[in-house]
Chain A
Amino acid sequence: MFKEDQLDKVKKGKGAWQRELSSQLSLMPERKKRFSTVSDLEIKDLYTPEDLSEMDFEKDISFPCSYPFTRGVQPSMYRGRLWTMRMFAGLGSAEDTNKRFHFLVQQGQTGLSTAFDMPTLMGYDTDSPMARGECGKCGVAIDTLEDMEILFKGLPIDRITTSMTINPPASVIWAMYIAMAEKRGIPRKKLGGTIQNDMLKEFAAQKTFMCPPRPSVRLVIDTVEFGTKEVPRWNTISISGYHIREAGSTAVQELAFTLADGLAYTQAAIGRGLNVDDFAPRLSFFFNAHSDFFEEIAKYRAARRMWARFMKERFKADNPRSWWLRFHTQTAGCSLTAQQPYNNVIRTTLQALSAVLGGTQSLHTNSLDEVLAIPTEEAATIALRTQQIIAEESGVTHSIDPLGGSYFVEALTNEMETQAMEYIRRIDEMGGMIEALERHYPQMEIADAAYKFQQQIDRREKIMVGVNKYETEEAPPVEILKIDPELESRQIARTQEIKNNRNNKKVRECLDRLGDACAGQENVMPFLIEAVKEQATLQECCDVYRKVFGIYRDPGIY
């Protein structure tokens, strides 16, 4: 990027500055021996053109919507269209969550995002003994198509897109969504949205799993194949680093393991016989926005560049859209504190700003009370307003990739890429992500990083305001949302009534056909849609999976 003589001048100038600095430091040393990111990546005192001497503008930075997309995937970025403001919401019954969705849309939210309760996430109906005490606690309970219809009642799902955070039962929930839309007269070709459906990161981090890794990936690829042919506007996988980071990884690990998961899905879909350019444009990503401002911006920029290179060079994709890494971002839940919870608004603001400066396509901002419970309406509104203030008042949307060309940000972007490539090389050597997971490699890397961070907090080497510095005695002053304890029995009654009134013979036949598809090679999606239209429950479909594919149990290593 710089000519020899320019770099010579920089070197001389830097020498002079360093001499000045060392005489200063002998009088007043720096505040710390070592400055490092929240992920413990060491940061230098100053970055100059010397740090970018190996870089090539065309090859490494380039223009928005130009390979390798370091600066963003759209030509006009936020000057053309703002990111989608998509607040993750789900609580209690389908009626309760429907009400919250309507409220958020009225407040100016531009996309829907659904949080399910634990039984739904794990493929159990509310009337299962495994679900006792958990109905509606951390999201909405969905057992049948009827619940799905109530959940989206009156919402313009032909115009706004819906994201659903669901993994082992993703295919079943998606089938319910398609069936619900078709009952409303909206054809599947018109449906836009996302199912998370990223099973690999479940084994590594979020830990909602049902069947072992290999059949889990087979089901994911069934949805990719079905989406490619039948639901072309749907993102069938949201390849997620969010949970990897929440489980305690570093930023580099989040970047590396997420892209390695993406490589594994791409390989598996190609193995199914799909053409990379037919499905790759519908792969989407999901990253965390943690507290270290520049590290996060560098991570998003590196992610785009790395993915573009993988798609073009490793998988020989020709369609530029296959090279795009489009991503949703959520601010870091694990960075929030129960102590002095109003401080969480400030943390979330900084994190959201890093996501925007990093070029996100969609954003969820956490509510200040999310560390204590599901957010209240008031807290969720402040979180949404945070995005609206960034979008409408801060001015950061005026220029594309405004930090591009910063010596520090470019050097940090390069560093993230180099370190993440080293992880990916190791995973490739093991044979890919499925093999790496079977050896517990990412799981242990994440656990090591999480333990190290906790020790740094305990030793006050890393600071969390209100937790290990600037502590106060008072109890949290915020109101928190409570889930009605009677909800569980009401939901059980509804599900049982449906089971009693449907055509049980037809349901049995549908489930048998689903079982045959699982045991053979056929795509499960058409069989699922047929089954849920007959009011087969979520668990009944998942029990077929469990029976055919077996159950994965947590190895319980720490």
Chain B
Amino acid sequence: MNQERKIRILVGKPGLDGHDRGARIIARAFRDAGFEVVYTGLHQTPEQIVQAAIQEDVDLIGLSSLAGAHNYLFSQVLELLKDQGAEDIALIGGGIFPEEDIHSLKQMGVKEIFTPGASLDSIADWVRENIKPR
């Protein structure tokens, strides 16, 4: 019998950006793809996101950003995960990112960045291939 638990994902909106169309769509898409989803809603600080991720014991954090503050907010989340000894929780991002920021975010430790045009299936497939329940 397969006892492997489902992949758990936190979908989050860090900072003050209110554009939640993408976050809510990807939360539904992850749910429909068979993952367990925690959506923490808008206007969350990096501290709140990391705390929720640890409490909810997720395997992956997906952050949506459309207002340009990603460099600061994503680096904060990574740092806080490290501080809490939770760097095995993977971080991915979706939204609007200038090309050069994508490279620096990945170097910083963000596993993948999805930009406009990525299909919901392609994102769910990436999760299945790259994320294992911890």
A residues adjacent to B (C-beta < 8 A): 118-119, 121-122, 124, 130-134, 137-138, 202, 206-208, 246-248, 334, 337-339, 371-374, 447, 450-451, 454-455, 457-458, 467-468, 475-476, 480, 482-483, 553-558
Q: Are B15 and A467 in contact (CB under 8 A)?
A: no
B14: nearest chain-A partner, CB-CB: A133
Q: Are B16 and A476 in contact (CB under 8 A)?
A: no
- 24 inter-chain pairs at a CB distance below 8 angstroms, sorted by A residue, are A118-B67, A119-B16, A122-B16, A132-B72, A137-B68, A138-B67, A138-B68, A206-B18, A207-B42, A247-B20, A371-B96, A372-B96, A373-B68, A374-B68, A450-B24, A450-B25, A455-B120, A483-B68, A554-B42, A554-B43, A556-B41, A556-B42, A558-B27, A558-B39
Give the distance in Å from the alpha carbon of A132 to the alpha carbon of B79 in the complex: 15
B121: nearest chain-A partner, CB-CB: A458
Q: Are A454 and B98 in contact (CB under 8 A)?
A: no
Cβ distance B105 to chain A, nearest Cβ, rounded Å: 13
Chain A residues with CB below 8 A from B104, complex form:
none
Question: Counting CB contacts under 8 A, is B117 at the interface?
Answer: yes
Q: Which of B1-58 touch A at CB < 8 Å?
A: 11, 15-21, 23-25, 27-29, 39-43, 45
Q: Are A556 and B40 in contact (CB under 8 A)?
A: yes
A121: nearest chain-B partner, CB-CB: B16
Known A-B contacts A248-B21, A451-B28; A122 and B43 likewise in contact (beta carbons under 8 Å): yes
Chain A residues with CB below 8 A from B45, complex form:
130
Q: Are B117 and A467 in contact (CB under 8 A)?
A: yes
Contact of A337 among B19, B27, B28, B117 (CB under 8 A): B117
Q: Are B16 and A451 in contact (CB under 8 A)?
A: no
Chain B residues with CB below 8 A from A451, complex form:
24-25, 28-29
Interface of chain A, helix or strand or loop or mixed? loop
Chain B residues with CB below 8 A from A334, complex form:
21
Known A-B contacts A121-B16, A134-B16, A246-B21; A555 and B41 likewise in contact (beta carbons under 8 Å): yes
Give the distance in Å from the alpha carbon of A483 to the alpha carbon of B71 in the complex: 12
Q: Which of B66-85 touch A at CB < 8 Å?
A: 67-69, 71-73, 76
Please give me the 7 A-B residue pairs with the lowest Cβ-Cβ distance, nearest first: A556-B41, A133-B72, A207-B18, A137-B68, A554-B41, A554-B42, A118-B16
Chain B residues with CB below 8 A from A202, complex form:
18
Cβ distance A365 to chain B, nearest Cβ, rounded Å: 19
Cβ distance A527 to chain B, nearest Cβ, rounded Å: 26
Give the distance in Å from the alpha carbon of A133 to the alpha carbon of B70 in the complex: 8
Q: Are B117 and A118 in contact (CB under 8 A)?
A: no
Chain A CB count within 10 A is highest, among B18, B19, B43, B72, for B18
Q: Are B116 and A371 in contact (CB under 8 A)?
A: yes
Q: Are B41 and A338 in contact (CB under 8 A)?
A: no
Chain A residues with CB below 8 A from B129, complex form:
none
Q: Are B68 and A131 in contact (CB under 8 A)?
A: no
Chain A residues with CB below 8 A from B28, complex form:
447, 451, 558
Chain A residues with CB below 8 A from B43, complex form:
122, 553-554
Cβ distance A241 to chain B, nearest Cβ, rounded Å: 15
B115: nearest chain-A partner, CB-CB: A338
Give the distance in Å from the alpha carbon of A41 to the alpha carbon of B68 in the complex: 35
Q: Are A458 and B120 in contact (CB under 8 A)?
A: yes
7 further contact pairs, Cβ within 8 A, besides A134-B72, A334-B21: A119-B16, A338-B117, A447-B25, A467-B117, A468-B117, A558-B23, A558-B28
Give the distance in Å from the alpha carbon of A137 to the alpha carbon of B71 in the complex: 11
Give the distance in Å from the alpha carbon of A450 to the alpha carbon of B27 in the complex: 12
Give the distance in Å from the alpha carbon of A337 to the alpha carbon of B96 in the complex: 11
Give the distance in Å from the alpha carbon of A480 to the alpha carbon of B72 in the complex: 19
Give the distance in Å from the alpha carbon of A457 to the alpha carbon of B39 in the complex: 23
Q: Are B16 and A130 in contact (CB under 8 A)?
A: yes
Cβ distance A24 to chain B, nearest Cβ, rounded Å: 36
A248: nearest chain-B partner, CB-CB: B21
Give the distance in Å from the alpha carbon of A164 to the alpha carbon of B120 in the complex: 35
Chain B residues with CB below 8 A from A338, complex form:
96, 115-117
Chain A residues with CB below 8 A from B25, complex form:
248, 447, 450-451, 454
Give the distance in Å from the alpha carbon of A348 to the alpha carbon of B99 in the complex: 24
Chain A residues with CB below 8 A from B98, complex form:
372-373, 480, 482
Q: Which of B94-134 touch A at CB < 8 Å?
A: 96, 98-99, 115-117, 119-121
Q: Are B116 and A134 in contact (CB under 8 A)?
A: no
Chain A residues with CB below 8 A from B73, complex form:
133
Cβ distance B85 to chain A, nearest Cβ, rounded Å: 24
Cβ distance B20 to chain A, nearest Cβ, rounded Å: 6
Give the distance in Å from the alpha carbon of A457 to the alpha carbon of B120 in the complex: 10
Cβ distance A366 to chain B, nearest Cβ, rounded Å: 14
B45: nearest chain-A partner, CB-CB: A130
B12: nearest chain-A partner, CB-CB: A556
Q: Are A118 and B17 in contact (CB under 8 A)?
A: yes
Give the distance in Å from the alpha carbon of A277 to the alpha carbon of B99 in the complex: 53
Cβ distance B8 to chain A, nearest Cβ, rounded Å: 16
Q: Are A118 and B15 in contact (CB under 8 A)?
A: yes
Give the distance in Å from the alpha carbon of A476 to the alpha carbon of B120 in the complex: 22
Known A-B contacts A133-B15, A372-B96, A558-B24; A458 and B119 likewise in contact (beta carbons under 8 Å): yes
Chain B residues with CB below 8 A from A467, complex form:
116-117
Known A-B contacts A480-B98, A555-B41; A134 and B115 likewise in contact (beta carbons under 8 Å): no
A118: nearest chain-B partner, CB-CB: B16
Known A-B contacts A132-B72, A133-B71, A555-B41; A447 and B15 likewise in contact (beta carbons under 8 Å): no
Give the distance in Å from the alpha carbon of A334 to the alpha carbon of B117 in the complex: 12
Cβ distance B69 to chain A, nearest Cβ, rounded Å: 4
Chain B residues with CB below 8 A from A246, complex form:
21
Known A-B contacts A338-B115, A371-B96, A467-B117; A450 and B41 likewise in contact (beta carbons under 8 Å): no
Chain B residues with CB below 8 A from A132, complex form:
72
Cβ distance A199 to chain B, nearest Cβ, rounded Å: 13
